[in-house]
């Protein structure tokens, strides 16, 4: 199966600080990949490189058929194919939930108002918030706002969804409602990359878990790898409960 994402010896530095030190991995259509590791291991940087928010310094990176390592890559087109949801919801406070969701499809994809509203209703149904279409962000809980942020990305009909620690600002109950939405997307066949510290969720939902350490993929495998690490570094990470 053709790869959606392919890292080939990717390097990324910020000044003299080398974050990615030759990262290589591949993601195929329909796969759910969880990136785990300590802060500074490179997992969020790798995610941001996929979406073109960071430019790599070496190696090759292919995303949805685009060569990200070459100059002049079409970032506008890329971001139609790749949705990203961050820890902060980044909703427009002066717009309703429906308006937050319909804005990009109308402005970027040029679809009409009626089609945009139908799309909003469809994605809000998927995240269990159809009844909140007329609400404003301040009227929603943190978990509901995060689900709206996911719906907003889904409205662009992406080929790939990226999630960067989307539950880290939420309490356990709200975390659960957001993870259920992501679990449903996985069951529906959405290709996803998640940076997460939720080990149980990664074990149950991800097809592949990649433990990043010292700027490389140190160990990778299925959920069973968290119960039987092959390296001392992953064993220590799992044992620490980080």
Distance between CA atoms of residues 82 and 190, nearest Å: 11
Report angle CA 162, 168, 170 to the nearest 5 degrees: 115
For position 163, what pLDDT does the model report? 94
Share of the chain above pLDDT 90, in %: 76
Residue-wise pLDDT tens digits, 175-219: 888 899 999 999 999 999 999 988 988 998 899 999 999 999 999
Q: Are 127 and 97 in contact (CB under 8 A)?
A: no
Distance between CA atoms of residues 212 and 158, nearest Å: 26
Distance between CA atoms of residues 52 and 46, nearest Å: 10
DSSP 3-state of 117? helix
DSSP H helical ranges for the chain: 43-50, 75-81, 97-107, 113-126, 142-154, 172-187, 199-205, 232-240
Residue-wise pLDDT tens digits, 42-98: 999 999 999 999 999 999 999 999 999 998 899 888 988 999 998 888 899 999 999
For position 94, what pLDDT does the model report? 97
| Among candidate residues 18, 84, 16, 86, the one with its CA nearest the CA of residue 50 | 84
Share of the chain above pLDDT 70, in %: 99
Map out the domains of the chain as residue ranges.
3-93+160-240
DSSP 185: H
Residues 6 or more apart in contact with residue 4 via CB below 8 angstroms: 27, 28, 29, 31, 63, 64, 159, 160, 191
Distance between CA atoms of residues 34 and 221, nearest Å: 10
Residue-wise pLDDT tens digits, 130-164: 999 999 999 999 999 999 999 999 999 999 999 99
**Fold observed for domain 3-93+160-240:** Rossmann fold (3.40.50)
């Amino acid at each position: 199966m053709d790869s959606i994402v392919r890292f080939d010896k990717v390097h990324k530095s910020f000044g003299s600080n080398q974050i990615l030190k030759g990262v290589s991995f591949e993601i195929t259509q329909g796969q759910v990949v969880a990136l785990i590791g300590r802060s500074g291991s490179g997992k969020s940087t790798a995610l941001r490189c996929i979406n073109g928010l960071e430019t790599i310094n070496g190696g090759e990176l292919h995303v949805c058929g685009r060569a990200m390592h070459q100059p002049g890559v079409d970032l506008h087109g890329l971001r139609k194919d790749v949705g990203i949801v961050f820890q902060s919801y980044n909703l427009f406070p002066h717009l309703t939930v429906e308006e937050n969701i319909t804005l990009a499809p109308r402005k970027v994809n040029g679809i009409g108002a009626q089609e945009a509203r139908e799309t909003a209703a469809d994605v809000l149904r998927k995240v269990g918030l159809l009844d909140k279409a007329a609400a404003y962000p301040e009227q929603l809980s943190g978990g509901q706002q995060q689900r709206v942020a996911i719906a907003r990305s889904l409205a662009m009909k992406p080929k790939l969804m990226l999630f960067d620690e989307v539950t880290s600002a939420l309490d356990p109950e709200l975390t659960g409602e957001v993870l259920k939405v992501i679990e449903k997307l996985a069951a529906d066949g959405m290709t996803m990359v998640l940076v997460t510290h939720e080990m149980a969720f990664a074990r149950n939902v991800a097809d592949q878990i990649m433990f990043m350490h010292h700027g490389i993929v140190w160990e990778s495998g299925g959920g069973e790898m968290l119960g039987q690490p092959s390296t001392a570094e992953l064993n220590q990470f799992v044992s620490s409960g980080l």
